[in-house]
Amino acid sequence: MTGKLTIVGLGPGDAELTTPAVTEALRTATDLVGYETYLARVALRDGQKRHASDNRVEIDRAMHALALAAEGRTVAVVSGGDPGVFAMAAAVMEAIETGDARWRDLDVRVEPGVTAMLAAAALAGAPLGADFCAISLSDNLKSWETISRRLVAAASADFVIALYNPASKARPHQLARAFELLQRHKSGATVVLFARAAGTSSAALEITTLANATSKPADMRTLVIIGSSTTRLIERTAAQPLVYTPRAEVVRP
């Protein structure tokens, strides 16, 4: 087949955080496919066609993009952040595996982007400096029981935990439930970060502890980071504290 499909990540917000490789893939595409909010961030050039859709139709969107590529089009599937982190790369792979056998012969590539937890970590300092994991609190594609089990496992292993999709209008209570669960397995003094709109000019960071954390500051533009037992603050007189997790394991007597 002569068509090409590239799955791209725009990064967390500001244009300078979009990689040159992604910019080039967007420039050369004949068709842009993605969630309408992300497509709105991409300037349309002459001759390009935009195929926008709602946020909850990932597989349909992936199949549409693959069908366009099978027609010989050069398609860019657009995600925010990194397309491989809770985003469209996995949806495209799933569509290839279960869909038209001819799609397996397409030229399919993934161009990475700056994912939200990296932008949030940079805003705070280096909270992901040691072992960490990422968990989505969305139960659209998995059960709350699965989410709870993974939260407990991550807390028990003392990972730093980055929480994606912490709250939405449809899920206003799940972050509070997650905090309640984590408090059973982690110290109340554990550092908690709320990074909103990280990677944009309106970025904001709130630093608190697990004992004092509530779900109130969080929305779908927020990335929540829960520290490990070794995550610490460096207090400063004229600026917000720096937050980091030491790389070396702390051996306790």
Does pTM surpass 0.85? yes
Say if residues 187 and 229 touch (Cβ distance below 8 Å): yes
Which pLDDT belongs to residue 252? 55
Q: Please report which helix (H) or strand (E) contains residue 125, including its range.
A: strand 125-126
pLDDT digits (tens, 9 = 90+) for 135-179: 999 988 899 999 999 999 999 999 999 999 998 777 778 999 999
What's the confidence (pLDDT) of residue 50? Answer: 95
Q: Which pLDDT score, from 0 to 100, does residue 220 have?
A: 81
Cβ 102 vs Cβ 3: under 8 Å: no
Sequence-ordered alpha helix ranges (H) in the chain: 20-28, 36-39, 58-70, 88-98, 116-124, 144-156, 174-182
Distance between CA 87 and CA 141 in Å, rounded? 12
* Domains located in the chain, CATH noted: 4-114 (3.40.1010.10), 117-244 (3.30.950.10)
Amino acid at position 125, single letter = G
| Order of strands across the sheet that contains 125-126 | 125-126, 242-244, 232-234
The list of the chain residues with pLDDT below 70 reads 1, 250-253
Is the torsion defined by CA of 206, 207, 212, 215 positive or negative?
Answer: positive
pLDDT in tens, 118-131: 999 999 999 999 99
Q: Give the pLDDT of residue 1.
A: 64
175-188 pLDDT per residue, tens? 999 999 999 999 99
Q: How far apart are CA 105 and CA 96, in angstroms?
A: 10
